[in-house]
């Protein structure tokens, strides 16, 4: 059985939703960031990066959201969480890579400035920049990336739980959803899916 390590409010929600969508047998274990459990020896033995998500499989441990999403989708083909066409699959990977390498990093500057600087003044400057950089990212997603009704068009894919997860950070990042009607509609559509409701309920309990 798969085991997902997550922390509420983190990007691990995307993997949590994907596991539900796939109907995969799994258990979810919370990592308590408030007590710094992610940097304790027990969790570092699972994921030396000290971050979530981490997915324990019978072949080893996977980390990084795009990798976990792809694994879940490819091991549950009946769920049809990936496009069959190799080019469209690469486009889906490109979208998820953008969320991982650009959007998430911009968000992290709000509370993880110590990863890039040491001066307190630098942390404050990074935090002030977050509403601008996140708004710019989502303006691009709104204009050029969401095909509708799902990210890749008619087919629901692993891009959708990832976008839902990161768009859930916008309000806290000071970004208004009003100029992002496609993103807002996507959030509403996602929130109605049983898999999303189940994952959210699990993480809130």
Q: For the chain, which domains are there?
A: 2-79+198-204 (3.40.30.10), 86-193 (1.20.1050.10)
The torsion of the CA quartet 6, 204, 202, 16, rounded to 10 degrees, works out to -40
Distance of alpha carbon 112 from alpha carbon 79, whole angstroms: 36
Instruction: For residue range 5-60, list pLDDT tens digits in order.
Output: 999 999 999 999 999 999 999 999 999 999 999 999 999 999 999 999 999 999 99
Confidence (pLDDT) at 113: 83
Give the residue from 20, 184, 185, 157 showing the smallest Cα distance to 91.
157
Instruction: For residue range 149-170, list pLDDT tens digits in order.
Output: 999 999 999 999 999 999 999 9
Q: pTM of the predicted model, to two decimals?
A: 0.96
Distance of alpha carbon 105 from alpha carbon 110, whole angstroms: 9
Q: Which phi and psi angles does 85 have, rounded to 5°?
A: -70, 125
Instruction: For residue range 82-101, list pLDDT tens digits in order.
Output: 999 999 999 999 999 999 99
Tell me how many helices (H) and strands (E) the chain has. 9, 4
For residues 14 and 66, the answer to whether their CB atoms sit within 8 Å is no
């Amino acid at each position: 059985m798969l085991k997902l390590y997550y922390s509420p409010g983190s990007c691990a929600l995307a993997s949590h939703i994907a596991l539900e969508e796939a109907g995969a047998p799994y258990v979810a274990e919370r990592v308590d960031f408030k007590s710094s459990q992610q940097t304790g020896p027990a969790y570092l033995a699972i994921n030396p990066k000290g971050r979530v998500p981490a997915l324990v499989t019978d072949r080893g441990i996977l980390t990084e959201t795009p990798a976990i999403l792809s694994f879940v989708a490819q091991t549950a083909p009946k769920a049809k969480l990936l496009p069959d066409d190799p080019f469209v699959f690469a486009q889906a990977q490109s979208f998820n890579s953008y969320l991982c390498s650009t959007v998430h990093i911009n968000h992290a500057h709000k509370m993880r400035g110590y990863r890039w600087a040491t001066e307190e003044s630098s942390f404050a400057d990074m935090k002030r920049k977050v509403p601008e950089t996140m708004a710019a990212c989502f303006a691009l997603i709104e204009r050029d990336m969401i095909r509708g009704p799902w990210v890749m068009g008619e087919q629901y894919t692993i891009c959708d739980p990832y976008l839902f997860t990161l768009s859930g950070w916008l309000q806290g990042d000071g970004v208004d959803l009003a100029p992002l009607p496609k993103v807002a509609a996507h959030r509403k559509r996602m929130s109605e899916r049983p898999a999303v409701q189940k994952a959210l309920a699990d993480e809130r309990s």
